[in-house]
Amino acid sequence: MSFPLRIILFGLLSSTFAPMLAAQSSAPASQLTFNRDVAPIVFRSCSTCHRPGEAAPFSLLNYSDVKKHARQIADVVRSRAMPPWLPEPQELKFADELRLSDADINRILTWVEQGAAEGAPADLPPAPKFVQGWRLGQPDLVLKAEKPFILPPEGTDTYWNFIFRLPIQETKWVKAVEIRPGDKQYVHHANILVDRAHASRQRETEPGAGFGGMEIRIESQAFDPDSHLLFWKPGTIPYVEPEGMALRLDKGTDLVLNTHLQPSGKPEVIQPSIGLYFTDHPATKLPMLLQLENDLKLDIPPGQKDFLVTDDFTLPVDVDLMAIYPHAHYLGKDIRAQATLPDGTKKMLIYIPQWNLNWQAVYRYAEPVLLPRGTVISLLYSYDNSDANPMNPNHPPLRVNGGNRSTDEMCHLWLQVLPVNFDAANGDPRMALQEALARHNVEKNPADFEAHYNLGAMLQARGNLDAALAEYEAAVKLRPEDATGNNALGAALVEGGRPAQAVSYLQAALKARADYFDAHYNLGFALAQQNDFAAAVDQFQTALRLQPQDAAVEANLGAALAEMGRYADARVHFQHALLLDPAQPIAKENLEALKEMNPR
């Protein structure tokens, strides 16, 4: 699962007004004015979102806009509800911090108390200027959701996912993404997940329709760390990746935009679009997303006010921490992540004293934070499942467990890290990270299907097939009817040259999910290896019906037919395979072989 995100919020707020605050309180008679005292704060810290076309419900661009909401503004700055910024100030600074200084807040409050005067025109700073349209200029590729989602008028939170089928013919490197989530006033946040295997398509009732769901999981086949947090929240300005950190997009990839919507009281048409900016420079620095979690520990009794969940993960390699994304649902209360360096120094990575799901966000550090190997990353999340928590989805409270529905709870922390100071000869350091994480999860919870599965996948990717098989077997033992687990075990057995043993697992996978492309493909392969070509042809044909654009299936189907002596049929499939992928090696080689056999 990946949470690609990019954010940049507006300029850092300084506290240079602090001395003036003192002056002010000693001279309370001085009348504050909008033009001189308040406009600079509003233009810098509010207008970015409070203007036409942006997320906020009304503009704050001039005196009369601000006057019309003056008392409400006093309330929201006093409570720090605005600008939206959940983390407490800390040593490790975030980029684009939106927090107002105490001095700014006091000025606004005093101004409202004093009657919200306009002041002299000469004192008014120039109005802020904003880029119209796409922030980074016309994107190289614009994708628009095929069908809009009609947001129903009623309720509080709605989650909808849009699938964008990428119309690219070759691998592209993306240096920036601008998410236009549709009418921004009704979108709390949106993030893009990269779905290389079309895993989400089956959830659409018809192509392009999209699908509901708060948390989506995307299975990925190979070790494919989706290392970018492509996230939109109100006020987001598209983030341009540092040189060498472009995001890879291959032909046939889907982008899934997960949106969190807030009904407005009337039906709203939500039709997001995504603008992609390409670069010619492939990635040279490969960050990854570390997903720490401890959902298993989420078994929160009703009435419990302060239920603490923790987890500690030790980094196996040096990393630069680039960004952090904490995530909990409606019971989340006090959320912290902290790093204990090998020398014992503790650093707060993020501290959110009053979690609010509505303002969840990815936070990017102003400077990468070096965390040496051996650093322990600890998450400490507390949850309030009492009636005193007004956001509690259950009234009266019920026992709540970890899960994907909004009424379930979550304890997740994503860290975007870039491995540093490693020796490339020892392989991709991200694999070591991923393996350590998977191992950590298995140790934490030997009954965790996914942990075994992920560890198996990682070991398989690192070439440790025997160890991988053991993990997949453990996974299948835990969930004997799971399609993914059985398929993975079957595929690993095929890879290990044990096709006969693979067949029953692959069949079990298909029993669980009849339209499982991978399992049909793998079963075809296992059968062909045992020279049961007729049965293999059946499987490849079914696979092809499920994914008619897959060159490898075409080629394998051709090969199985050729083995059966059906050369003419075989030729057609090899040719199709080459149409789909002119470099398809099996098709190329076999077509040559057919030519030699039958030079006509």
Partner 1 sequence: MRRRKFSITLMWMGTVLAVLCGLATAQQALDLDGHAVNPFAAASGKPVVLIFLRRDCPVSGRYAPVVQKISREYADRASFWLVYPDRTDNPQDIRKSVADYGYQLPVLRDPEHALVKLSRVQITPEVAVFDGDRRLIYDGRIDDWYIDLSRARPAPTAHELRDAINAAAARTTLAHKEVRGVGCYISDVE
**Footprint of partner 1 on 266-325 (CB under 8 A):** 266
Asked if 56 touches ligand HEC (CB under 6 A), the answer is yes
Q: How far apart are CA 32 and CA 169, in angstroms?
A: 60
Kindly state the number of chain residues that form the binding site for partner 1, as judged by CB under 8 A.
Answer: 31
User: Residue 144: phi, psi to the nearest 5?
Assistant: -120, 140
Which of 15, 24, 220, 264 lies at the binding interface for partner 1 (CB under 8 A)?
A: 264
CB-CB contact of 196 with 220 (8 Å): yes
Interaction between residue 263 and partner 1 (CB under 8 A): yes
Binding of partner 1 by 391 (CB under 8 A): yes
Of 247, 153, 241, whose CA–CA distance to 192 is shortest? 247
71 or 477: whose CB is closer to partner 1?
A: 71
Count Cβ atoms below 10 Å from residue 365 Cβ, excluding itself.
Answer: 18
> Is 48 near ligand HEC (CB under 6 A)?
yes
Max distance between CA atoms of the chain, in angstroms, equals: 102
Q: Is 98 in the site for ligand HEC (CB under 6 A)?
A: yes
Would you say 194 and 4 are in contact if contact means Cβ atoms under 8 Å apart? yes
- Residue 50: CB minimum distance to ligand HEC, A: 6
From 4, 83, 456, 499, residue interacting with ligand HEC (rule: CB under 6 A): 83
- Of 49 and 509, the one with the shorter C-beta distance to ligand HEC is 49
Of 408, 368, 379, 396, which is closest to residue 304 (Cα–Cα)?
Answer: 396
DSSP-based three-state secondary structure for 222: coil
Instruction: Compute the distance between CA of residue 413 and CA of residue 417 in angstroms, rounded to an integer.
Output: 12
523 binds ligand HEC (CB under 6 A): no
Taking the complex as a whole, how short is the minimal distance between the CB of residue 179 and ligand HEC, in angstroms? 14
**142 binds partner 1, rule: CB under 8 A:** no
**Measured on CA atoms in the order 54, 55, 59, 62, is the torsion positive or negative?**
negative
The H helix count followed by the E strand count for the chain is: 15, 21
Toward ligand HEC, which CB reaches closer, 188 or 196? 188
Q: For partner 1, which residue of 18, 20, 53, 71 counts as binding (CB under 8 A)?
A: 71
What are the C-alpha distances in Å from 378 to residues 254, 315, 337, 339?
34, 11, 6, 6
Indicate the residue type of 535: A
How many residues are present in the chain? 600
**Residue 216 lies near ligand HEC (rule: CB under 6 A):** no
Site for partner 1 in 3-42 (CB under 8 A): none
Whole-number minimum distance, CB 131 to partner 1, in Å? 25
**Position 359 contacts partner 1 (CB under 8 A):** yes
Site residues (vs ligand HEC, CB under 6 A):
45-46, 48-50, 55-57, 69, 72-73, 76-77, 82-84, 98, 100, 234-235
Site residues (vs partner 1, CB under 8 A):
57-58, 67-72, 75-76, 79, 81, 84, 153-154, 156, 185, 262-266, 330, 356, 358-359, 390-393, 395
